[in-house]
Every structure is written in structure tokens, then in C-alpha cells.
Structure 1
Amino acid sequence: MMKHIQVYAPFLMFVLYTSCTGQNRIEQPAGNSRLEAENVITSRGPNHITRNIIQDRKGNIWIAAFDGIFRYDGKSFTNITSKVSSARFFSVLEDNKGTLWFGSVGSGVYRYDGKSFHNFTTKDGLLNNEVGTIYEDKKGNIWFGVNGGASRYDGKSFRNYRIIGDVMREDGTGKNVTVFERRQNEVSSIIEDKAGRFWFATRGNTFIYDGKTFTVLTHRGKPFKNVRSIIEDKKGNIWLGGMDGLWRYNGSTFINFAKQFVGYVYEDRKGNIWTSSASDKAQSSKPGLQSINNQKGWTLSRYNVESLADHTTLPEIIRANDGMIFGILEANDGSIWFGTLNGVYRYDG
């Protein structure tokens, strides 16, 4: 029987409880001043919605959740932001210099150097204070996917790219978004592929940017809409997960692997593709294979060599869950971490 351990320190098998309800108040430092960190060591990880998980170069696990940014050092959890902001956090990134970036909903982004924080908001040039995803490109620029478009930070200033209707373009007005844009314009995922093109997944269209022009990604004349996650695998294939299911694109051909909604896509070190997805619509054309038609809620799935070679073969079902599953991480020890509505879980294989 597979064991799915909800992570708790020091008692890793203790079950987290409660989910996120109600509104979260926003605290924002005056003048975007540097705030000294007052870390709070806790006996448990997050209790609420957990959106993103990464591992830094020192081996620490960083968790972006609705009740703060948590660091797990293998023994205990530390709530890094408990004394800084009560905002809900969606995203976390470690850049090539070892600096941490935390994206929040309503309070912009926080840069953390291990000792103190600096808060960037629309007052500093950020397009919107709702930051859902963070990405570092090959040149070291930091991209923020926000509600209304994207912002690129070069270490000195922001350059903004706004979505208006079905079009994405560089913002030449010099004005920032000071009100909430339509949710359709939220950027959910950003990557730079091996050719240097940028891919932007939004609640509306999916855009490809070559440095000059934005084009809409289409298949048979239909645009890919409401894509939540984009990755490029080791072979250079682009994977898209969203409302239209799971797709693989090799630059010329699209292959559909799943028709149900896919919220997150992740490639592990062996080349397996992991997804978090709704589980009530999966079909298989091959008899005798595991079916998830009767499983409710969401699933954590793994596409191995067999299912990647034949898209009609269902993936392995690692966990069936009644609630949503968000970000996925393969840690250095091979364990798989994933976020849920009530905290973070670790799967040891």
C-alpha cells in the first residue's frame, strides 16, 4: 500500500487540519522599506492552500501557502513571513544568486536575501500586486506573472507587458495597473524555451513571444485557452496543462494525453511527467488498464515510459484526493512533494 505522508515536524506523520476560508487581510510596509526577518519556528507546515514548492541550492524546501512562506530544513518548519505580511502567497523562486522571491496576492512581491525583505509593488513599477508565478530567464531577468499581464525586472527597473482582450503587448503607456484586471488576463505560467522564446499561459490565450512579437498558440485554428502550467521537458517538448487537458507539442505536432482539466505539470529527473488533474473524465482505449473514471476529486498522476510512448495508456495514479492538488516538486532525495487545499504532502515512493 502506498503511503502519503502529510509533512509535519518533528512528527512527520501527524495530520494537518483545516482549509483556507474567508478573506486574508493585507499588510504592506510603508515606503517599501527593508524589513528585517523575524522567523517563527513551528511544529508544522502550512495549514492552508499550498500553491508552490521548490528546493534551494542548500537543500531547504520552500513552500508558498495562503498562511505564509515556510522553509523546511529537514527537521523543522520556519514561517519566514509571519511577522512581515499576512498576505496569501502563490509563488516562490530562488534566483541564480541565491536570492528568494515570494509572490503574493495583493501585496506584490517580496525579495528575501536571508536576512531582510524588500517589497516591490505597483509603486515601484510592478504591473499588478497580484503575483501568481515567478520565473528567471537565461539573462537573469526575473519575470512576474500577474493579473493583467507580466512584468520583467532587470535588477533596476520593471518593463511591463499587458494583456488587453485577446492581445498581449509591451506596455508603452508607462502606467501601472492600479485596479484589478479581469481574471481572464491572469498569467499563470511563464517559461523560456531552448530557442529563447517565451511562453505565457493565461486564463485567456496562450502567447509565444520572440522578443519582438506576441503570437497566439493555436491548434487546428483553435487557440489554447485557460492553460495553467507550461514546461519544456529534457527533449525540448512543450507540455501544456489546462482546461483542454494535457498536451505535448514537439514544434510541429500536438498530442493530447488527457482530456480532463490539468492544473500543474512537472518533469522529474527520470523524465517522468507528473500532473495534478481533475479525475472524473479520464478514458482509456486499452482494456484492463487502471481507470480513474470512478474516482472523485483530483489525482496526482505519473506518466512513465509506457504512457509517454503511447498516449492512450493511462498514467499511474499516485494519489486520489477529494480536494485540489497544486504545485509538485521532486526533492533531492527522490521524494515527491505536492500542495493541497490543507497543506503539503510528501510521497516517498
Structure 2
Amino acid sequence: MKKLILILSALSLFLSAKAQNLFPNKLDNCITEQFCLDCGDEKAGVKANEFKALVDDLNNTIDFGNASGKILFQVLIDSVGNGCVLSHTDNSKSKITKSIIAQFNQFKGWAPAKEKGKTQGRVSINIMAEVKDHHLTCRIDRVDMQAFKNSFDRPKDPEIFNKNYTYKNQHLKDYTITTWNSKNSNLPNNFNDDIAIDNRNTIWLTVDEGLVQFDGKSFIRKEQDITDKGKYFSYNAIAADNKGIKWTVGQGDIYSYDDKKWTLYSKKALGFNGAYHIYNNTNSGELLFCTDEGLHILKDNKWSTINKDNTRELPINRVYFAQRDSKKRLWIGTFAGSAMIDTDGKVTSFNNGSTVLKGQCITSLDEDENGNMYFGLYEYNPKDKKEVNRNEGIAICNHAGEFKQLTTNNSGMPFNHVSKVLYDKNEKVLWIATDRAGLVRYDLKDGWENYHNQNSDMPTSYIVDMAFDKNGVLYLATRQGLVRVQRN
């Protein structure tokens, strides 16, 4: 008897607001940036009578033959009741599955989620479809969020895509790697995505549904206390400005904290909805907010904006990264390319040139004492969207303005997707964080080392963010807690 294959393997995705494709068979017909997994105080669902009619129609039109079994479909629902199938569990990709996907995508009877009475868009739910005795039944299968979170609380083993480089890790013995997690400390949970270190050398971390400060011994909860958090309240960016004020994003609003009280900057007041990242530029005293509505800059209590309306050369308003270099040039990475604005206001759009930044979104930038700059890259529109090890890696721009790109093909990079780059001025090496291959140490010549949970005390290969404290000690935000890499 032929059976539809159901695969409920361990989820290998991450617990953030971005691209949570739950099941192994992923579809490319949905826009998947920033959506929420089965959230809302009133859950997304279906209009019962219309959904029953859809299932009846499927039963009348599909020839099930001898098929039997269960399939899970992940459906993304917008604010007006349209649906789009993101992923499913049928490895056989049968005609039955294709028919169900087509009907789900055309169905207009999805019911959007609501939060405090307000309709929410871009929420995914799971539908269980079962074929038994030549008959199809479908029902909503709610996500057990605690079980979902627990499935991530385990070390992620490295995926090394570079098969031509031998990592000797000669300098690993020079470091002591220390981890604080939910088992050996009072860290609330291990999902650390953002890190900032303020002018008092205090470490700040976003954790799942929370915010903590770390004084070197213990973690203290520091969530905002001036607005209702509701059933789910996440923080997704953090930075400390020159005065030591902390800035973060909570549910699309901006909050600041001066170590005494919280201040809210609402979406309505600011004119933008949340931020992908917040960056402090120490030399200029600017805070840079990277948003879907352009780059918003706060300096001396005054706001300014760079977007397509006033800077036509900007590839798109969806800004992911921004930072100034030592020459005060502003580098911007968007989801449609990168640009640089010099001190005279001249804009260079790298999509129009022939450098290695063409077709790339800058995701990170650091600079050495000689003016050489190091960039993390994201290929936003690859030819093969299913390719994991894309044409990314790092880009290096020397003091003369000449670019080169280092990838798994021409260097010791173990994996091409980079979370962050940091130049260590004390050791004169480049630290590179990845989300599949762990931490990379590059001596800027030909020495590459790769530290992860299978060859060191690093607790995981999944590193999201990193920062230096005032003493030059490296701290990592990982999916297995806070990690310190300290030279002996």
C-alpha cells in the first residue's frame, strides 16, 4: 500500500521573527521575511464553513487511490485572509500534496490572527491533512511553543563547506573559552541573538522574550516596564550609545534605558516600524536605526532620515546595516544592494559598479589601524535560492580602495554566510562569526582557524553576534548561551 511519507525531523531553523520554515520541503512562492509563528492572543485560523467546503471539494476532485497517511502544511496568512503554503512534510511530493497546496494558496477563507483586537498579518499556522479510507480530513495543528523552543536548546554541530583547507588551530591553546548558559548560571534561556557592551563594561543581551544585563557573575532581568508586554514580547536589537544609554526594539517600538527608567518611542511618533539593527557610531555620536522605511539617524536628540525620497541612489528603503568608517563615509547595506555616501554627500551604488559588492548586502563592517576595511556579505538574490553556501564570505577593501572577496573557494573560510566581523587591534587578527561553522580566526595573511563545539570548548557552531569589552575580551551571543573568548 502506498503511503504519504510524514517526516517530523528535528527542526533545524532558528527561533526569531525571520523565515521560520518549519518543515523539510520548503516552497519559494511566499515572501518569508519577518513573520510570526502561530502568534497573537487570538490565533489565526479558518472560517469553518468555507474551509469545510474547500475540503469537500478536495475529496470530490482528488483520486486518492491506495494512499494513506498524514501531511503537515505550514501556511502563512496575511491580514485580509489570503494564505500561502511555506513548507510541508511530504517527501514524495505527490499529486495529492500538490493539489492541496494549490487549493490552500487560492483559499480566501483564512482568518487572520489578532493582538489586542487588532488584525495581524504574516502569521503562520500548521494544518494537518490526513488521508484514510479514500477520504481527506484537515484540521489546525497548533504549535506547542514550549516544545518548539526546547527543540532548539541543544548544540548545533558545525557544517564545514570548505573541504580543501586543513584547520590546525594552532592558537586555540592561547584562549580560554567560557560559557554561561541556563544550566550553569541564572541566564533565563540560551537564545541570545544580540549583544551590546556599554561604557561601564556591562554586557547586555537579548534573550527569548527578554532582556538581561550581565556583570560578570550573574544575569539581571531588565525588560521594559512602561508598556503592557502582552502574551508575547520579543526584543530583536540592542545598542549602547556614547552616554551609556541602551536602545532596543520591542514589538516594533523603540525603547531607551538610562539605567534608571525606560522611555518609549512609538512607531507612530518616529514614523518607522521597528528596526533590524541599531548601531552606535562612537566617533560621530550617531545612533543608526536600520528599518524598512530607510536609515533613521539620531544625533544630539535630532532625527534625520536617508531613504529613496531624498537619496535616489539608495537601492531600496529596506536597510539592514549601516556604519561609518574612519573617513566618515557612511556604508549602507539594503535588501537590494549596498551603497556608500561620502562626506560631500556623493552616493556610490555598488550595483552599478564591478566590485565584489555588486549584488551583495553589507551585513557587517570593521576597520583596522591602516584603513583596511572588512565586510560581511549577504547575497540577496542568488541564482539558486536553495543554495546554502552562497557567494558571500567576506570582502576586504584596502586603504587604496581595492576590493577582494574571500570565500570557501579561495581561502580558509569554512562557510560563506557571516554573522559579524570584528577586527582585534591587540592581536591584529580578524574574528568572523558564522551561524553554521562556528568562530573563525583569520590572521590576515594565510592563517585560518575554526573553533566550534566539536574541536573546542565552544558550545555550538551557531553564533549570531559578538562584541569586545573595554579590555579587548571577545564575547559571543550564541544559541547556547553567552560565550567569552579570552586570551590566556
Tell me if TM exceeds 0.5: yes
| 2:465 corresponds to 1:319 | no
Query: How big is each residue's C-alpha offset from its partner over 1:132-153, in whole Å with a ceiling of 9 and x where there is no partner?
Result: 2322363423221112321012
Q: 1:275 to 1:221 in 2, by over 3 A?
A: closer
**Which of residues 331, 340, 343 in structure 1 aligns to 2:469?**
331
Contact 2:202–2:215 under 8 Å retained in 1: yes
> 1:231 corresponds to which residue?
366
Contact 2:235–2:248 under 8 Å retained in 1: yes
Q: 1:132 to 1:269 in 2, by over 3 A?
A: same
User: Any gaps of 5 or more consecutive residues in structure 2?
Assistant: 1-13, 17-36, 42-114, 117-181, 379-391, 409-415, 454-458
Give the 3-state SS of the residue equivalent to 2:320 in structure 1. strand
Contact 1:141–1:153 under 8 Å retained in 2: yes
Relative to its length, the structure with more strand (as a share) is 1
> 1:95 corresponds to which residue?
241
Contact 2:429–2:441 under 8 Å retained in 1: yes
Letter in 1 for 2:214: Y
Q: 1:82 to 1:116 in 2, by over 3 A?
A: closer
Alignment of 1:86-125 (within 5 A): 87-104=233-250, 106-125=251-270
**Which of residues 348, 373, 382 in structure 2 aligns to 1:215?**
348
Letter in 2 for 1:258: T
Q: 1:75 to 1:322 in 2, by over 3 A?
A: closer
| 2:276 corresponds to 1:144 | no
Contact 1:241–1:262 under 8 Å retained in 2: yes
Query: How many angstroms does 1:224 deviate by?
Result: 4.3
Q: Distance in 2 between matches of 1:254 and 1:46?
A: 43
Give the 3-state SS of the residue equivalent to 2:193 in structure 1. strand
Query: How many angstroms does 1:57 deviate by?
Result: 2.1
> 1:286 corresponds to which residue?
none
Query: How many angstroms does 1:68 deviate by?
Result: 2.2
| 2:360 corresponds to 1:204 | no
Query: How many angstroms does 1:208 deviate by?
Result: 0.5
> 1:288 corresponds to which residue?
none
Alignment of 1:41-56 (within 5 A): 43-56=185-198
Q: Distance in 2 between matches of 1:336 and 1:130?
A: 25
> CA-atom RMSD, angstroms?
3.3
Q: Distance in 1 between matches of 2:468 and 2:312?
A: 35
Give the 3-state SS of the residue equivalent to 1:206 in structure 2. strand
Query: How many angstroms does 1:193 deviate by?
Result: 1.3
Contact 2:369–2:425 under 8 Å retained in 1: no
User: Any gaps of 5 or more consecutive residues in structure 1?
Assistant: 1-18, 29-41, 171-183, 279-296
| 2:162 corresponds to 1:20 | no
- Compute the TM-score of the two structures, normalised by the length of structure 2: 0.51
Relative to its length, the structure with more helix (as a share) is 2
Query: How many angstroms does 1:64 deviate by?
Result: 2.7
Q: 1:268 to 1:221 in 2, by over 3 A?
A: closer
Q: 1:59 to 1:344 in 2, by over 3 A?
A: same
Contact 2:240–2:280 under 8 Å retained in 1: no
Contact 1:162–1:168 under 8 Å retained in 2: no
Q: 1:76 to 1:25 in 2, by over 3 A?
A: farther
Letter in 1 for 2:201: G
Query: How big is each residue's C-alpha offset from its partner over 1:262-309, in whole Å with a ceiling of 9 and x where there is no partner?
Result: 22111123221111126xxxxxxxxxxxxxxxxxx32211112xxx12
Give the 3-state SS of the residue equivalent to 2:307 in structure 1. strand
Contact 2:314–2:339 under 8 Å retained in 1: no
- Compute the TM-score of the two structures, normalised by the length of structure 1: 0.69
Query: How big is each residue's C-alpha offset from its partner over 1:11-38, in whole Å with a ceiling of 9 and x where there is no partner?
Result: xxxxxxxx7374676999xxxxxxxxxx
- Further displaced range: 203-212 or 321-330: 321-330
